[in-house]
Structure 1
Amino acid sequence: MRNTIILSILLFVAVIGASIYYFADLNGSEKEGLRPLTFLPKETYLVSTFHNDATTDNIFKDFELFEALIGKQDMKQWQLWKAKLLRNASLQPYVNGSDLYLSFHPEGEKIVSLFSIPTSEPIEVESLAAVMAEVGKEFNVTHRDTLGARIFHLHSGNKDSIFHIAYHKQIFFASYSDSLINRVLDNNQPKLDKHAIDYFAENNSRNSPLSVYFLHDEVAKISQHLMRNRPGNNIGLFTSIGGQSAWNLNFKNDALILSGESETMRDRKNYLEVFGRQSKTTQSLFNYFPENTATYMAFAISDPALFQDDLQKMFKERGESEKLSDQLQQLERNSNLSLNKEIRQIFGNEFAVVEQSNQTSLAFVALHDSSQLSQNIDRISTETGDSIFRFDQSNVLYALFGDPLKSFTRPYFMKHENSIVVANSQSLLQDFKRDMRRENLLINTLGFKNFEKIQGNEANVTYFQRTRTSSALIGNLLKPAFRENFRDSDDFGFQDFYSWSLQISGNNGDFLSNIYAIYKSKTALGATPEWSYTFENRPITAPWVFEHSDTSQFILIQEQDHTVHGIHPSGKQLWSAVFHGRVVGEAQQLADRSIVLVTDRNRLYRFDSSGNGLPGFSLGLSAEPSYTPTVAELNGQQLIFIPAGNELLVYDLEGKRMENWSNEKLAGNILFDVKARNSQVFIGTENGHFYQYDANGKLIKQEVINGGHFRNPLAFIAQEDAGSTLIAIDTANNFVTIDFKQPATKRTVGNWHGKSILAFDHMGATPANRLIVLDGKKLSTLQLPDGSPLYDFTFTQAAEDRPQFFANGSLLGIASRENGLIYIFDDKGTVVNGFPIESMPLFYYGKIDYNSATYLLCVRRDRKLYAFKHD
């Protein structure tokens, strides 16, 4: 698992962004050459340049991931020196308009930083002394002369925080390392390569707030410096490519993104060079990777002929061609298949290697034509049982695709969709099968969804590192000093990065390259709650928001022991009471602010906003309620209609049973809520019986849909004459329209599974505008009444909870219980910014007080209700 250490290398790439900001803010705009780089020691891991203007300063103002990388203690020190030195009135005229440079260098068991700041004009010795004298009023300042320069030592009270400053050749050099300053000043010390500096100058973008320069030869040195053991195969791909990269920062407050170009030595012995003549192309194998993926390297080929040509040249340069050729000829003889015409045609243009959190590896290879594999699988492999095969010949995958698959010498494999999954043991493939059955996939995790929003899926090479599943392994590989920082969650925030990744694409022999670090921002929705409310037991209803008084609202929710809680919008408890049974369906509020609900212990409740039961309530029911009561006004009297299986129970608001309503059992269980409109009441049952009653409870008409079965709610549909026409959809996807004036009509509206979840965006007396369909992993929305499609969305796992509607029905909430995610869609089908987030399928989205901001109220596995403000 040594490959995971690439993460640590990338961490130090990211650190330079943070360092520069806190030493900047000088408001200069003219370009300064890269002359300071000519003084840097050859042992330079990373360099960055930062041009200073007000716009850039504002961009970085609250870039919280910088502090996570730098550490809080160092941040405070750098802020101190920035304020006392760069903002010094005597010094500022000399550094205004200058770019700043920050470089990182090895020193013992540490990595030390150096700030290089050219001045716009020379500073006289007397002026410099005056500046340091002024600084000396707050710090103990000493100096010494060496190597033709004066080095000032600024003591802030701690021997480990002495800041050393030298002014040499019209450049300030500053560091906490005295020996590093001496190496910079010593002309006899080896310096950075001139060609590399020229490359950096050519690729320095004035349109970017930050540029990063990296020498590829430092990869091996950095890994050796950080790691206790030798690097693994992934790092090996980068250790001998030579050359350098120049990246520019793309700003995003929850991610560090560096994009630029990379130049290599074009050594044909290095595997990555075979992609230099490729161009970026779509990668898709990540859809198959298991949830416990710690790292992966994925490869995609845009031009197979060029790839094979460059691969064979690489083998020839390494002196491996003859041996591999003999093995492939043996494969051709044994299989009676042509390598170029048949064997290579089986496989596609993508492959990948996945390292799992348990330190095991899988490989994935796309198939060009799965039918060709089926036809020829017995010629190139032997079945070992349970649809698992083993290659008959060694090094087949290495010969076809090169270094990433070299460790899979004579592996086992199985077909999975349009790819094969490869492992060095059968048990790993059995484990993979189990993960697929359970849909334990990387793409089903929230972090990966957020990662996909930022990083595209087009490249030739992608390296991905997931912090959670590799954190322990990385810590064990790092040397003690670096491991301590990596695990220190108080001063640093390395664990708050979801992932680090690198993408490379061919570019006429060179490469385009990008680095992505996805950060769990504390300001992101779902990260830092405004408040939380702790329950003794698991909450079992969604939170409802109701009016409490003329000036405030409140939140109502029930937990597993049947306690109902009234919660203030600030998160404080208003009241709590134990109810008899679990709330069935929804609670609803009447015009007098009283709340009506039913429970599965045959109880009807009506209580005020302070939790006090109204006279006559609660009261027992003759049957168990099956869904939400409907409160409707008929002939000037408000009545409560309670569906109870195949019975309809009717009460007035004082709790009196309305005897004029029939007590006869219906021909089937009532579908969800009872409908009331235009002084009439409508009921539908699961076996296709639909009833129309007048205001006095007299049955007006019954409509029977023969052969139909229903399992989803009913709704009213808009009519020109404001009539009361019902719509329902049976399990055969027939759209049934019932107006009780003429025979019901049917028409097919979709091709969904019979167990699909269907809902209308209005569940009461208001006509529905949209039909929502959850068919396994697919969400579809249709316009009513014509059924024309509005938008579709595909989840990574089945969504099996009923949709929720917010903000007068324009916002749609969907919960994916299997992977613990919730989504909010707007009326155009776009996922609202900040979603999905992790939550159980019990949530509310909207205002929680009359004049409040929009909040997400959601429940997580820790038995808490969280309130997240969503700006």
Structure 2
Amino acid sequence: MKKIYFILATLVILISGMSYMYFSTLNKAGVQADLSLELVSKNAGFIFSFQNDKSVRNILSGQALLNNLVGEEKVVALQGLQAALQHKEMAPLFEGQDVYLGIYPSEQKRLDFMVAVQLSPEANEKLLNESLKRSGLALKPYATYQQVQLSANQTYYVLIQQRVVLIASASSVIDKLIASPKDNSEADFISFIQKSDRLGKNSLANLYINFKQLGSLMRSITPYFNRAELALLNKQHAYARLTYNFSKEKVFFSGETKVLNSDSYFSLFANLKPEKIELDKVLPANTASYTLFAFGDYKTFHTGLQKWFATKKEDKNVQGKIKAINEKYRLNLDEVFLRYTSSQAITVQLQNKQKLAAIKLNSGEKVEQLLLDLSEDYDGEIRELTEPDLLYYYFGEPFKSFKKPYYLIINNYIIFAAYPSSLLDFRNSYQNNNLLVLDKTYGQVYKQLPLSANILFYLNNRKAQNIIINTIYPEYYNQFRSENGLKAFDSFVYQLSGDQGTFQSNVLFSLPPATTATLRVEADSLLVR
């Protein structure tokens, strides 16, 4: 009996020892993976991650559309780096490890990148240097780190920290990293990624977006990031985790977007139920882009809007302005908007750069009557609001640029524009059935997405091409104009659906269908999709 107890005790000790060693190894690997992520996340607006596994690499290398997103110049650079890391002398050093690719802004109006990957358990820094030499490459001292020359046109900068190898396309990326070694400002972003990684370990690849860094990134691309629609994306404390979905016909990511700052306009929609998109069916065929907001019950949204004004310390000013207008015109503006606003609002930019806004109403006739004293006639149907900022007071940030707009009510829709000519063009398009929803390319886009959402960004690359070119720096012209670049895509959509404080998200870059003929149907037979 004592012998049996002795054997059992020995087994318990052996199992405990093996378990300790196993989980210690796992924990050590986890710490290294966390360090890779921590280092690459500093100053990065976008992070793309995947496992350095041959099967994964083979799948991703066959995704030609990803190359269109990255651009020809960056593709060449990444292919050169990939070839070096997959050399027979180098490949075993990184096999099976998580790879993080960060995208960073540059003062030279370009985007730089840095790869972070840890050495495999059997490898070390000495073995890395020996493998580089055997593969025909060599690390050379540069500042306080090193550089490696892959070709006459490809120089990379290398920093090795605690078995994590960082390879950057520009020395400035590593310089900024070294300059703030104890910077912990991205701790929340890292925690968000780690939590998401645990939930999506089986995904082919993941894209992470740090909206806090998006401003710096976009200012490397355009000088107009603080203007109009783009300003909504600036200074957002928000993160996105998006899983790449394999397809040779589109680039599609799905996942989660989380808004953390309470003064963000987007936070008003995070707890709302997704609504079937309907307001797009009145948009003209020459729509280049739009942002749609579906709030469902407007009274609920209005309550949240008042809290949003309070976070911005504008609530008393807004209430005072509304009170003054009510007294001046003997109106009750709350009665007009809370009673007769339906479920959706939208801002639109047309191919000719004109801008519109629209709101879905419960009763166009009632609103038309109630706004008579608050407006001046232009042509019998088109009128101009006489008081400024009404749209901002009742619909918030996206409508702030519509100060004293002209408006037109058609059926149960009210359309706004800065100039009456824009509304004359809109009316002509609507009456002649020249509408966006009848364009086959537009219909194809929404066959690939859910029909319900709370916030939806849509851009037609073909119709917005001139607007984009006039917005970005010349250094990016080729990327947007090239058939091997973004010109290959017909449309871009970022779809956000409220989900108990966060957003279920879809990002789509769609290709044009085989034929782009426009369908013509009778106006009274319009279907949302």
| C-alpha contact (below 8 Å) 1:99/1:117 kept by paired residues | yes
TM-score, length-scaled by structure 1? 0.53
Alignment of 1:511 with 2:503, yes or no, is yes
Distance 1:143 1:169 in 2: 19
Alignment of 1:456 with 2:450, yes or no, is yes
Counterpart of 2:91, as a letter, is Q
Matching of residues 185-200 of structure 1 within 5 Å: 188=181, 190=183, 193-200=186-193
| C-alpha contact (below 8 Å) 2:84/2:90 kept by paired residues | no
Matching of residues 114-193 of structure 1 within 5 Å: 114-121=114-121, 123-136=123-136, 141-144=138-141, 147=144, 151-156=146-151, 158=152, 160-184=153-177, 188=181, 190=183, 193=186
Question: What secondary structure does 1:434 align onto?
Answer: helix
Distance 1:118 1:64 in 2: 27
Please provide the CA RMSD for this pair: 3.1
Question: What secondary structure does 1:49 align onto?
Answer: strand
Counterpart of 1:226, as a letter, is I
Counterpart of 1:441, as a letter, is L
Distance 2:176 2:330 in 1: 65
Question: What secondary structure does 1:214 align onto?
Answer: strand
Matching of residues 180-579 of structure 1 within 5 Å: 180-184=173-177, 188=181, 190=183, 193-204=186-197, 205-268=200-263, 270-333=264-327, 336-489=330-483, 492-520=484-512, 525=514
Shift of the 56–122 alpha-carbon distance from structure 1 to 2, 3 Å rule, reads closer
Distance 1:187 1:389 in 2: 56
Distance 2:505 2:228 in 1: 20
| C-alpha contact (below 8 Å) 1:229/1:477 kept by paired residues | yes
Aligned to 1:13: none
Distance 1:271 1:183 in 2: 31
| C-alpha contact (below 8 Å) 2:358/2:414 kept by paired residues | yes
| C-alpha contact (below 8 Å) 1:44/1:192 kept by paired residues | no
Distance 1:328 1:145 in 2: 63
Alignment gaps of 5+ in structure 2: 1-28
- CA positional deviation for 1:182: 4.9
Distance 1:175 1:67 in 2: 19
- Structure number with the higher helix fraction is 2
Aligned to 2:25: none
| C-alpha contact (below 8 Å) 1:248/1:259 kept by paired residues | yes
| C-alpha contact (below 8 Å) 2:438/2:520 kept by paired residues | no
Question: What secondary structure does 1:410 align onto?
Answer: coil
Distance 2:388 2:321 in 1: 8
Distance 1:186 1:343 in 2: 52
C-alpha distance after superposition, 1:822-861 (max 9, x if no partner): xxxxxxxxx9xxxxxxxxxxxxxxxxxxxxxxxxxxxxxx
- CA positional deviation for 1:518: 1.4
Aligned to 2:36: 36
Question: What secondary structure does 1:408 align onto?
Answer: coil
Shift of the 416–252 alpha-carbon distance from structure 1 to 2, 3 Å rule, reads farther
After superposing on structure 2, the runs of 4+ consecutive aligned residues of structure 1 that deviate more than 6 Å are 794-797
Question: What secondary structure does 1:502 align onto?
Answer: strand
TM-score, length-scaled by structure 2? 0.84
- CA positional deviation for 1:45: 1.9
Q: Which structure exhibits the higher relative contact order, with contacts defined as CA atoms closer than 8 Å and separated by 6 or more residues?
A: 2
- CA positional deviation for 1:292: 1.5
Distance 1:72 1:374 in 2: 53
Distance 1:429 1:512 in 2: 35
Distance 1:407 1:125 in 2: 56
Distance 1:80 1:57 in 2: 15
C-alpha distance after superposition, 1:695-735 (max 9, x if no partner): xxxxxxxxxxxxxxxxxxxxxxxxxxxxxxxxxxxxxxxxx
- CA positional deviation for 1:401: 1.1
Shift of the 388–184 alpha-carbon distance from structure 1 to 2, 3 Å rule, reads closer
Counterpart of 1:510, as a letter, is T
- CA positional deviation for 1:84: 3.9
Question: What secondary structure does 1:477 align onto?
Answer: coil
Shift of the 55–438 alpha-carbon distance from structure 1 to 2, 3 Å rule, reads farther
Shift of the 191–64 alpha-carbon distance from structure 1 to 2, 3 Å rule, reads same
Question: What secondary structure does 1:440 align onto?
Answer: coil
Distance 2:362 2:99 in 1: 51
- Structure number with the higher strand fraction is 1
Alignment of 1:92 with 2:91, yes or no, is yes
Distance 2:504 2:98 in 1: 25
Aligned to 1:17: none
Q: How many corresponding residue pairs?
A: 495
Distance 1:387 1:795 in 2: 23
| C-alpha contact (below 8 Å) 1:64/1:253 kept by paired residues | yes
Distance 1:174 1:33 in 2: 16
- CA positional deviation for 1:200: 0.7
Aligned to 1:103: 102
Shift of the 411–55 alpha-carbon distance from structure 1 to 2, 3 Å rule, reads same
Greater displacement, 247-256 / 377-386: 377-386
Distance 2:332 2:180 in 1: 62
The percent of aligned pairs where both chains have the same amino acid is: 21
Shift of the 172–422 alpha-carbon distance from structure 1 to 2, 3 Å rule, reads same
- CA positional deviation for 1:186: 6.2
- CA positional deviation for 1:202: 0.4
Question: What secondary structure does 2:359 align onto?
Answer: strand
Shift of the 525–486 alpha-carbon distance from structure 1 to 2, 3 Å rule, reads closer
C-alpha distance after superposition, 1:284-332 (max 9, x if no partner): 1111111221211111103433311221122233333333323333444
Matching of residues 708-787 of structure 1 within 5 Å: 777=522
Greater displacement, 430-439 / 51-60: 51-60
Greater displacement, 116-125 / 213-222: 116-125
Distance 2:195 2:371 in 1: 52
Question: What secondary structure does 2:378 align onto?
Answer: strand
Question: What secondary structure does 2:495 align onto?
Answer: strand
Distance 2:328 2:315 in 1: 20
Counterpart of 2:112, as a letter, is V
| C-alpha contact (below 8 Å) 1:37/1:192 kept by paired residues | no
Counterpart of 2:36, as a letter, is P
Max Rg structure: 1
Distance 1:478 1:338 in 2: 44
Counterpart of 1:33, as a letter, is A
- CA positional deviation for 1:258: 2.0
Matching of residues 829-848 of structure 1 within 5 Å: none
Distance 2:245 2:182 in 1: 35
Shift of the 122–363 alpha-carbon distance from structure 1 to 2, 3 Å rule, reads same
Question: What secondary structure does 1:319 align onto?
Answer: coil
Aligned to 1:788: none
Distance 1:305 1:452 in 2: 29
C-alpha distance after superposition, 1:78-104 (max 9, x if no partner): 33443442242x433332221111011
